Amino acid sequence: MHLDNMLAFNKDFVNQEKYESLRTDNIPNKRTVIFTCMDTRLTELLPKALDITNGDVKMVKNAGAILRDPFDSIMKSILVAIHELKAEQVMVIGHHDCGMSHTDPEAFKQGLLDKGISEETLNTLTHSGIDLENEFSGFDSVENSVEESVSVVRNHPLLPSYVTVHGLVIDPATGKLDLVTRG
């Protein structure tokens, strides 16, 4: 969808006050932060499958729901949701058939080259200490990956003791949830 089409749609949306039924504030009604994957199949399916509507949860996403660094932007967002926005529960939700499962570092590198990124640029990054293979690596088992993400949150020094952290996997076709670990 072209930007101009989106802007035209947006104008109608606002003019016709379609936002009225979505009005809420910034405190999550369900006192929950969900950290999940950016997969397009989950955009509408995940909230519907979990009975989530506007205002219910803080939603944080990245490619693969992968959290490994305790001070990256994902963990900071989760901490802000807890300390400033009253969240008391964290749900890490990976999904089956994720694009970050079984990633092929060689194919990823070839994709960069095919899109016009030069070999020289890649070499410069490598020499600057950036390990592209590691930076864009995914996972083999979504359950294990969810466990790892959950572990980073649970063991965080700034996590209050009253916060529960759960790990789950969702089916991107049916919305069925399987529990990996309960907090």
Where on the chain is the footprint of Zn ion (CB under 5 A)?
A: 37, 39, 98
Closer by beta carbon to Zn ion, 55 or else 172: 172
| Residue for token pair 């939603």 | 59
Of 175, 151, 182, 183, residue with least CA distance to 95: 175
Closer by beta carbon to Zn ion, 37 or else 46: 37
* Exposure string over 150-168, b if 16+ CB within 10 A, otherwise e: bbbbbebeebeeebebbbb
Is 37 annotated in a binding site? The answer is yes
Phi, psi of 71 (to 5 degrees): -125, 30
Contact in structure between 113 and 119 (CB atoms under 8 Å): yes
Q: How far is the CB of 162 from Zn ion (least distance, A)?
A: 30
Q: How far is the CB of 86 from Zn ion (least distance, A)?
A: 28
Q: What count of residues does the chain have?
A: 183
Q: How far is the CB of 147 from Zn ion (least distance, A)?
A: 16
Q: How far is the CB of 93 from Zn ion (least distance, A)?
A: 10
Is 39 annotated in a binding site? The answer is yes
What is the distance between the alpha carbons of residues 156 and 16, in angstroms, rounded to a whole number? 45
Is 95 annotated in a binding site? The answer is yes
Q: Would you say the C-alpha torsion 179, 28, 155, 162 has a positive or negative sign?
A: negative
Closer by beta carbon to Zn ion, 65 or else 163: 65
Closer by beta carbon to Zn ion, 28 or else 94: 94
Q: Residue ranges for the binding site for Zn(2+)?
A: 37, 39, 95, 98
